[in-house]
Amino acid sequence: MTTVKNILNVFVEAIVVGIATIIMGILVHFVFGYHAKHSSSSTMKQEMIDLSVTLFFTGFFLHLFFEVVGLNKYYIKSHSS
């Protein structure tokens, strides 16, 4: 049964996944040197903001998608002892 608490938990999890996606995406961005290639760009600050927003919503909506189609529940069942 879906309750308000369960829905709220899923949204909090989605926010956490979104933030984690930002962190990982920015790290990958720096490791592959994209930042160094474009650091002299006058629009670099806006590009980083756009990248962060895009990464956040990617992680957020992927988590919601995985919840809706049941992949999170399937993963937990298949990997529990």
Angstrom CA distances, 53 to 2, 18, 39, 47, 50, stand at 29, 9, 19, 10, 5
Domain count within the chain: 1
Question: Distance between alpha carbon 35 and the CA centroid of its chain, in Å?
Answer: 20
Average pLDDT, the chain: 89
Q: What pLDDT does residue 45 have? A: 81
Domain carrying residue 22? 4-79
pLDDT in tens, 45-75: 888 899 999 999 999 999 999 999 999 889 8
Distance between CA atoms of residues 25 and 40, nearest Å: 20
